[in-house]
Copies of this chain bind each other. A is one copy, B any other.
Amino acid sequence: MIDKLIEKIIALQNPTCVGLDTDFNYLPEEMKAGVNGFEEAAKRITEFNKNIIDSVCDIVPSVKVQIAYYEMYGESGIKAFNDTVNYAKDKGLIVIADCKRNDIGSTASCYAKAYLGETEIYGKSSGAFKADMLTVNGYLGSDGIEPFVKEIKAHDKSIFVLVKTSNPSSGELQNLKLESGEYVYERMGKLVEKWGADTIGKNGYSEVGAVVGATHPEEAENLRKLLKNTFFLIPGYGAQGGSAQMLKVCFDKNGLGGVVNSSRGIICAYKNSAYAGMNYSAAARAACIVMQKDLSSVIGKMGR
């Protein structure tokens, strides 16, 4: 799946991922008015997402659906998550389920089935949530990651493991220095490279990627040098303070190596005076075009 993402990035000259972190409160006033309860709210969120997807699907390669924003609306929210994932896939987008799942092996295999594989019921198998890629947390080590790698291989999927996250306090654990002289995030990165070692595709990147925040350029530069075969999912651009210049270090000499997420910067663009007069989906498209120009001005041509 990583090669499919890379090919779409090259075709569109755009390494953007649109983050559908759709809080009901982000919706325009006219979509919120009179809404009562989770079911109605979730329907409006789905409608909002579908319109955003329709508006951007020909210019961006991927979307990231952050499940926390759906879980807070209960069962109805999960339906909205699922409908959003399926709609985005139908529109040809590569869908990253941002769930940061993690557990011991037996339990991790349930999560792996849920998002990347299939669940068997009395001899018949089907997929619960049909994402292309999933974010996971590696704090439990190899036996919590292997079940995901198994599903990746069986179903042509990818994962991104948290390595250096974009938030201000990420260093409290991730930047602790080990006796060996490495930082914790470096060790996690090396594990990621190992977990993906036998899934490297034709573009040189494996199906086991790393989450590396745009807000920490020093660590990102270090990780790009250390992890030659690891593709990065790069959050933190835009609303969190990361700039194109800061995340340039994540990319290789061919302008590849990462996909850059922006959530509020795109889905809430309609609230930005720069896009005054546009509805939310038109503003989202305009913001994607601005982001593409910004990123490509720094990264240069993508692909050989």
Contact = CB atoms under 8 A, between A and B. Distances in A.
Interface of A: 21, 23-25, 32-38, 40-41, 66, 68-69, 71-75, 77-79, 82, 100-105, 107-108, 110-111, 113-115, 119-122, 124, 126, 128-129, 137-144, 162, 165-174, 176-180, 184, 187-188, 191, 235, 240
A63 to B, nearest CB: 16
Copies in the complex: 2
Contacts of A72: 110-111, 113-114, 119, 128
Contact of A144 (B128, B138, B167): B167
A74 B37 contact: no
21 contacts: A33-B122, A38-B126, A68-B101, A69-B107, A71-B115, A72-B114, A72-B128, A73-B121, A74-B82, A74-B128, A100-B101, A100-B137, A104-B165, A104-B240, A105-B167, A137-B137, A139-B165, A140-B162, A140-B165, A143-B167, A176-B184
A18 to B, nearest CB: 16
A110 B23 contact: yes
A145 B137 CA distance: 15
Contacts of A34: 122
Contact of A68 (B71, B77, B108): B108
B178 A68 contact: no
Contact of A104 (B69, B114, B167, B184): B167
A188 B33 CA distance: 44
A104 to B, nearest CB: 4
A23 to B, nearest CB: 7
Given A68-B110, A173-B188, A41 B100 contact: no
B69 A110 contact: yes
Nearest to A129: B74
Given A71-B111, A104-B166, A38 B128 contact: yes
